[in-house]
Amino acid sequence: MTRPINQQWRLAAHPVGLVRPGDFQLTTEPVPELGDGEVLVASRFLSLDPTNRIWASGAESYLPPVAIGEVMRGVGVGVVEESRNAAFPVGTVVEGVLGWQRYSRSDGRFLSRAVSYRDVPLERYLGIARHILLTAYFGLTEVAPGRSGETLVVSAAAGAVGSLAGQIGRLRGMRVVGIAGGPAKCRWLAELGFDAAIDYKSDDVDAALRRLCPSGIDVYFDNVGGAILDAVLAQMNVFGRVAICGLISGYNATAAQPGPANFANILMHRLRVQGFIVSDHYGRIEAALAEVVPWVDAGMLRWKMDVVEGIERMPVAVNKLFDGSNDGKLVVRV
Amino acid sequence: MTRPINQQWRLAAHPVGLVRPGDFQLTTEPVPELGDGEVLVASRFLSLDPTNRIWASGAESYLPPVAIGEVMRGVGVGVVEESRNAAFPVGTVVEGVLGWQRYSRSDGRFLSRAVSYRDVPLERYLGIARHILLTAYFGLTEVAPGRSGETLVVSAAAGAVGSLAGQIGRLRGMRVVGIAGGPAKCRWLAELGFDAAIDYKSDDVDAALRRLCPSGIDVYFDNVGGAILDAVLAQMNVFGRVAICGLISGYNATAAQPGPANFANILMHRLRVQGFIVSDHYGRIEAALAEVVPWVDAGMLRWKMDVVEGIERMPVAVNKLFDGSNDGKLVVRV
């Protein structure tokens, strides 16, 4: 039987700075026959996330680095086309670590049935897939919880995770201040119900935080690190909580990044600073979904998609996450 | 009635770098008559602690800075000599914020009856007073708990708090590695039952940590910050916990201190880094004392005293905490 032809982006070189086209190589080969317990997933949409840059870097992180020659690691959503695994019959819509490729063969690990939302078409699904929405949720639930009336600051607040984190903070009754780049993104934060937005490209972030967080900052959901983390640390209240979700300001750095100069505030204000990745918390995923799915179904969360057409554009498109040019959750339609 | 004459060290200038004699001024005045609800405490031993340097600095910290002209803030142990407060009859041995002075007048706030240990003379009491022993205890209980079999690293491990933290770690069944300055202190750590000691003055700390913590580091009880914090962060295990008890390496700094260059490991290894001071946890003091008092009474904890004679030596003696010349809990006999 003729096998489907796969296209796969393989890592050719660990990027230095922004990704360059030669860092990845597009290869073509037939999909192998499935073994017992395996499924073949046809990718529909592949997610581009800042963490792709970490995985490509060659450095140890929270996962082993992608090796030269390997298919690039990435999350996506697709449909089971062949199955020798009863848990995933043909036609099942799944999400998971599909890789940067048209077809992925899986034994079911790192694969889940897509969450059952009521009215979310596949084209918009990755905006609230597990690794996005539950990152925002667990960050504000398990890692850096906040109470009604407390002040939450979110960086990269117009990003896929940040915009949801801010909305969850509002649902919890927090005062939410978002930090984003440019007036369009800041206007969008206002539409989402954020109490205030800071444009780090034109505002004095220290002064804006003082003005917009008159009672100080209780919770910081950080996606960026760097100078903005330092500015927020300086204004954290006693017993404040910081969720380190991402440190995107350093992901393309070619030199060692300095640590936060205001680190001593962790002692002086007895802050709790905790790094996390979403899968650490999947032990509590059922309770999490029971809370977030009704929010989505009731239209209480909003999100935007930025859809790039064609798998061949993946390596170039990933840079949009770092130059601020993406507008909504960045995905590639395969 | 003739009033006792008080001697008081008042802050004359916020120190820059190490404390200089002119930063404090010794003044003399009669003790005022007590008001209703007040007690007069005669200081017996005054505690010199690294945090004194923070309080003198003029910067906001976890408490307001001591103002120029005010009696220097400090903890001590003494005896109630006059009382108009039923909670503290004459003769009661008390500990608390007595200040750098012979006599303190108090309304009872920041004052407690000394802990009732069986065989601890007043001369040795400050070595295991609340603000020392419970700092070690809460740091390893509430802030950065560890399990039997995990690896604990303690910095300033021969110090008053660090030496107790390490011993508590051993009582919990942890592998305990202490970092201290010089062979004599490292030998003492061995006598206390530490599994290993690193002399940061002569050892390569990175290499020594790799050798002595072959399973990585699960809990770090940090008293120093700076380069040693950076070295430990690099070797923390996934889900490691860091208690920031002190950042003594920066207390005498005259320029801004860089943050830890390995800060990104907080994300990559999903560490929890939390600053604390002992009084944050006094809500659970009864349970804490119920656990630690039997340890002391049974001789399961050891500690050394470094007793400086005479209140007039306080401003000079405090520097011993920062040049490493103290040998045991530093106190002044009044």
- ipTM over the 0.90 cut-off: yes
Residue B230 lies in a domain: yes
Residue-level pLDDT at A40: 98
CB A332 within 8 A of CB A313: yes
Lookup: tokens for B114: 């000394």
Minimal Cα–Cα distance from B142 to chain A, Å? 12
Chain B residue closest in CA terms to A143: B272
A141 and A191 part of one domain: yes
A49 and A179 part of one domain: no
Instruction: Convert the pLDDT of each residue in B99-142 to its tens digit.
Output: 999 999 999 999 999 999 999 999 999 999 999 999 999 999 99
Residue B234: is its pLDDT beyond 70?
Answer: yes
Q: Nearest CB to A263: which of B259, B264, B271?
A: B259
Chain A residue closest in CA terms to B245: A267
Residue B295 lies in a domain: no
Would the CB atoms of A267 and B60 count as touching at under 8 Å? Answer: no
Q: Nearest CB to B259: which of A60, A250, A259?
A: A259
Lowest mean pLDDT among A143-157, A242-256, B275-289: A242-256
Give percent of chain A with pLDDT exceeding 70. Answer: 100
Query: How many CA atoms are closer than 13 Å to the CA of A199, on its beta-carbon side?
Result: 11
Residue A170: is its pLDDT beyond 70?
Answer: yes
Residue A169 lies in a domain: yes
CB < 8 Å to A267, chain B: 62, 244-247, 275-277
Residue A290 lies in a domain: no
Question: B203 falls in which pLDDT band (50, 70, 90)?
Answer: very high
Would the CB atoms of A259 and B257 count as touching at under 8 Å? Answer: no
Would the CB atoms of B274 and A269 count as touching at under 8 Å? Answer: no
Interface mutation target, options A263, A271, A282, chain B, most CBs of B under 10 Å: A263
Q: Nearest CB to A275: which of B271, B275, B277?
A: B271
Give percent of chain B with pLDDT exceeding 70. Answer: 100
Would the CB atoms of A259 and B261 count as touching at under 8 Å? Answer: yes
CB-neighbour burial class of residue B145 (10 A; exposed 0-12, middle 13-18, buried 19+): middle
Enclosing domain of residue A311: 5-114+304-333
Distance of CA B199 to the CA centre of its chain: 21
A154 and A32 part of one domain: no
CA distances from A154 to A196, A257, A299, B39 (A): 11, 21, 22, 49
A146 and A241 part of one domain: yes
CATH (domain of B82): 3.90.180.10
**Average per-residue pLDDT for chain A:** 96
- Asked if B74 reaches chain A (Cβ–Cβ under 8 Å), the answer is no
B224 and B148 part of one domain: yes
CB A37 within 8 A of CB A109: no
Instruction: Convert the pLDDT of each residue in A281-328 to its tens digit.
Output: 999 999 999 999 999 999 999 999 999 999 999 999 999 999 888 889
B246 and B312 part of one domain: no
CB < 8 Å to A225, chain B: 263-264
Host H or E run for residue A218: strand A217-222
Instruction: Convert the pLDDT of each residue in A211-256 to its tens digit.
Output: 999 999 999 999 999 999 999 999 999 999 999 999 998 888 888 8
* Residues 240-269 in A contacting B (C-alpha not used; CB under 8 Å): 244-247, 250, 256-269
Domain count, chain A: 2
Closest to A284 measured CA to CA, from A181, A147, A163, A138 = A138
Chain B residue closest in CA terms to A273: B273
A158 and A97 part of one domain: no
Question: B146 falls in which pLDDT band (50, 70, 90)?
Answer: very high
Distance CA A21, CA A24 (A): 6
Residue A298 lies in a domain: no
A104 and A45 part of one domain: yes
Interface mutation target, options A268, A278, A279, A280, chain B, most CBs of B under 10 Å: A268
Lookup: tokens for B31: 């003790």
Q: What is the CA radius of gyration of chain B?
A: 20
Would the CB atoms of A247 and B238 count as touching at under 8 Å? Answer: no
Residue A274 lies in a domain: yes
Q: Nearest CB to B244: which of A239, A267, A277?
A: A267
Q: Encode B49-81 in three state secondary structure.
A: CHHHHHHHCCCCCCCCCCCCCCECCCCEEEEEE
Mean pLDDT score, A85-90 = 97
Neighbouring-strand partners of residue B313: none
Lookup: tokens for A276: 């996390």
The secondary structure of B120-135 as a DSSP string is --HHHHGGGSIIIIIH
Residue B257: is its pLDDT beyond 90?
Answer: no
Minimal Cα–Cα distance from B262 to chain A, Å? 7
B76 and B161 part of one domain: no
Lookup: tokens for A323: 């130059």
Mean pLDDT score, A2-29 = 95
CB B208 within 8 A of CB B178: no
- State whether residue B92 is helix, strand or coil: coil
Query: How many CA atoms are closer than 13 Å to the CA of B137, on its beta-carbon side?
Result: 24
B197 and B320 part of one domain: no
User: What does the longest C-alpha to C-alpha distance in chain A come to?
Assistant: 68
Would the CB atoms of B257 and A257 count as touching at under 8 Å? Answer: no
CATH (domain of B180): 3.40.50.720
Question: B254 falls in which pLDDT band (50, 70, 90)?
Answer: confident
Residue A123 lies in a domain: no
Minimal Cα–Cα distance from B14 to chain A, Å? 18
Residue-level pLDDT at B221: 98
Residue-level pLDDT at B253: 86
B147 and B228 part of one domain: yes
Residue B1: is its pLDDT beyond 70?
Answer: no
A211 and A164 part of one domain: yes
Would the CB atoms of A263 and B225 count as touching at under 8 Å? Answer: yes
Question: B252 falls in which pLDDT band (50, 70, 90)?
Answer: confident
Neighbouring-strand partners of residue A25: A10
Residue-level pLDDT at A47: 97
Question: A1 falls in which pLDDT band (50, 70, 90)?
Answer: low
- Asked if B282 reaches chain A (Cβ–Cβ under 8 Å), the answer is no
CA distances from B96 to A132, B67, B109, B112, B245 (A): 50, 20, 9, 6, 19
Would the CB atoms of A263 and B260 count as touching at under 8 Å? Answer: yes
**Average per-residue pLDDT for chain B:** 96
Phi, psi of B82 (to 5 degrees): -135, 150
CB pairs under 8 A between A and B: 105
Mean pLDDT score, A87-100 = 97
